[in-house]
Amino acid sequence: MEKIKIAVQKSGRLSEKSLEMLSECDITLTQGKRKLIAISHDFPLEVLFLRDDDIPQYVSDGVADIGIVGENEVLEKDKKVELVKRLGFARCRISLAIPQDVEYHGPQWFEGKRIATSYPGILQKYLDEQSIQAEIEEISGSVEIAPSIGLADSIFDIVSSGSTLVSNRLKEVEVVCNSEAVIIASPALSSEKTKLLNDLLFRIETVQRSKGNKYILLNAPNDKLDKIISILPGIKSPTVMPLHQEGWSSLHSVVNEKEFWGIVDQLKENGAEGILAIPIEKMIY
Ligand code: ATP
Ligand code: ZN
């Protein structure tokens, strides 16, 4: 049987979450004989561990069928790959930052300036759109120290909390793009591999959907049932079962974490008792 080959970052900010996601999909990995490859016995999948910068290229060449990588690398490398799913982790933005004490009135500030970055492709595209001529200093790491050592006037880099900028006395002045981990796919997957990709996406979506949802059980007096049912969202409608104690029922439903406390308050106000909330592992509609 054919296997789908997935490229995952070998070590870095995406690695752990990528493997955790596979494991939540009940795909366990056995370390293969070669260290850079792992295989799964419960899903026809092989993992190739690579540097994140190389993943778009490997996927566009078809060496890997799919890959998990930051959207920023996909934009930067500009290879022929399809973005098939946003994964919601490793969220960050790619921004322009300048020294804190410098006055700033808009992107024209960058005209004639030197900007240090590891993302020259994304930056050049932005500068062209803004009709700005600037000098790009491409460096591969520790971009944030470039202004203090006199290598550049400003930087274009990944920002998440902004604390790295602050500790380097820089301020974020333009957010050029946002990024999160995504799944990319080779443009020419065989029909068998497309089927495997869809099976994997189905599992990922099932896990993502159940995250943030809780299974809720409670007891309610029968004369308040209609009101309590109207408070509970549920997938279709809540399950109602009679309790041994006359005049009372047990209700089961699914509630999203965001609404959870609000709903619990209303349930209590309407006479619900013995409320239990249980984590949900998988939700399939
Ligand atoms: P490699 O050795 O594989 O080349 P790297 O050092 O280039 O790794 P990491 O720092 O591990 O890359 O970052 C991987 C990806 O994680 C980035 O491309 C970006 O999408 C995301 N990322 C980076 N920094 C942050 C951050 N501070 N917060 C959230 N996501 C981030
Ligand atoms: Zn990298």
Q: Whose CA is nearest to atom 16 of ligand 1?
A: 13
Q: Which atom of ligand 1 is nearest to the CA of 15?
A: 11
What is the full DSSP assignment across 145-174? GTTTTTS-SEEEEEESSSHHHHHTTEEEEE
CA 153 – CA 147 distance, rounded (Å): 5
Q: Which ligand is nearest to the CA of 159?
A: 1
CA 252 – CA 267 distance, rounded (Å): 13
Q: Which residues surround ligand 2, an ion (CB under 5 A)?
A: 52-53
- Are the C-beta atoms of residues 134 and 114 closer than 8 Å to each other? yes
SS3 23: helix
- Confidence (pLDDT) at 34: 66
Q: Which atom of ligand 1 is nearest to the CA of 13?
A: 11
pTM of the entire predicted model: 0.89
- Residue 162 is classified by DSSP as S
CA 26 – CA 20 distance, rounded (Å): 10
CA 186 – CA 189 distance, rounded (Å): 6
Distance 12 CA to ligand 2 centre (A): 8
Single-letter code of the amino acid located at 22:
L
Phi, psi of 51 (to 5 degrees): -70, 140
- Confidence (pLDDT) at 33: 61
Mean pLDDT by 10 residues, the chain (285 residues): 95 96 94 82 95 97 98 98 97 98 97 98 98 97 95 97 96 98 96 97 93 92 93 80 94 91 95 94 84
User: Cα separations (Å) of 88 from 11, 17, 71, 174?
Assistant: 19, 10, 11, 22
8 CB within 6 A, ligand 1: no
SS3 135: strand
Domains, the chain, ordered by start: 4-89+180-209 (3.40.190.10), 92-179 (3.40.190.10), 213-279 (3.30.70.120)
CA 192 – CA 272 distance, rounded (Å): 51
95 CB within 6 A, ligand 1: no
- Confidence (pLDDT) at 32: 65
92 CB within 6 A, ligand 1: yes
CA 66 – CA 119 distance, rounded (Å): 22
